[in-house]
Amino acid sequence: MDIEKIKELIIGHFEGNLTGVEKRELVQWLKASDENRKVFAEMADYWGIAHLPYFASHIDADLHENFGMSLNQRQELSQKRFSLFLHWKRLAVAILVLLAVSGLSYYSGYSSQDWTDEVVCFETVVPLGARSKVVLPDQSVVWVNAGSSLRYDKNFLKEKREVYLKGEAFFEVTPDSLKPFVVKSEELAVKVLGTSFNIRTYEDEEEVDVVLLSGKVDVYMNRPVVLKHPVHLNPNEQLTYEKGSEKVFKREVEAADICAWVTGEMKFTKAPFSSLIKELERKYNVKLKVETSALLQEQYTGSFTSEHTIYDILHEINIDGKYEWKQNGNEFTIHDRM
């Protein structure tokens, strides 16, 4: 395919104005070789960086020219010119990291794109020990917690506002009365117009929680036998679904405390250590092995900021010196003091 034609198709795809015929041409080019897909992925990363609000005003004017340059250099295998493109991309990423550090928070994640014949899916996957901020095309903001993933397709804003979540995320949804915002998980769906709320739906946990901080939400269960009608939540209310019993509960909570993880904090009230283990493991990317039943039953009330380390927390839970712990890599074993 002619180099200029490829350039037009890729830019047209990012701008969302390809015809059906042009979409099929681009898909065929992508299917032709791993090299073509690699070029597209690198340009997609660049496009994403260029359209973050901070960078848009700085490099939009040069966007089309530099896309063309990068693609031409790929075709001509001119390593020198292509390295300039990579340098610019690395510089943008470095600036993002610098901004994150200066904000006293650590954000991490990676994005990918899955091709079918017609649809591209955008996914952000966040590793253990990190959290990531995602700005959706409608300017809604999502904070994705450790060990979680968020996915949406390219028609997110055109046809509907729908995302898919595994793990935990906090949403600040931009109001749009014509296009409700829907979060889907394996067990349930949450429908809103404009609000702030938290969903916790980890596969390895027995409960799924939806907590409303502000606005209004309706929660729908994916299996009608569990709940035939949606549950409406008001601020500071939490819906809990128990996977084993398939029961649904609603209760009042301090939503701000539950959502505090967004700023790197942990807040808990009369929580048994057994319920904190998974949260600590995800936050600090460690494995906790508890060889004392007494510790699992102990209840804790308190809070930790992003500045506290796992060592700080282990010291606090053992303030009266009843336990000992040893470390092997990222695994900590806790047992009764001999």
Identify the CATH class of 110-258.
Answer: mainly beta
Higher pLDDT, 76 or 135: 135
Instruction: Check: pTM over 0.85? Answer yes or no.
Output: no
Q: How far apart are CA 206 and CA 317, in angstroms?
A: 25
Asked whether the domain spanning 265-336 has the same topology as the one spanning 110-258, the reply is no
CA dihedral 258, 262, 267, 271 (to 10 degrees): 60
Between the alpha carbon of residue 117 and those of residues 22, 121, 141, the distances in Å are 12, 12, 29
**107 and 132 Cβ atoms separated by less than 8 Å:** yes
Name the pLDDT band for 14 (thresholds 50, 70, 90): low
Residue range 211-220: mean pLDDT, rounded: 94
pLDDT score at 120: 61
* pLDDT above 50 for 112: no
Q: Where are the domains of the chain?
A: 3-102, 110-258, 265-336
Higher pLDDT, 1 or 337: 337
Q: Is 105 helix (H, G, I), strand (E, B) or coil?
A: coil
Q: List pLDDT tens digits, range 141-179.
A: 999 998 999 998 878 887 789 999 999 999 999 998 888
**198 and 172 Cβ atoms separated by less than 8 Å:** no
Residue range 247-270: mean pLDDT, rounded: 90
Question: Lowest mean pLDDT: which of 9-13, 25-29, 41-45, 196-200?
Answer: 41-45
pLDDT score at 5: 81
Range 265-336: architecture per CATH: 3-Layer(bab) Sandwich (3.55)
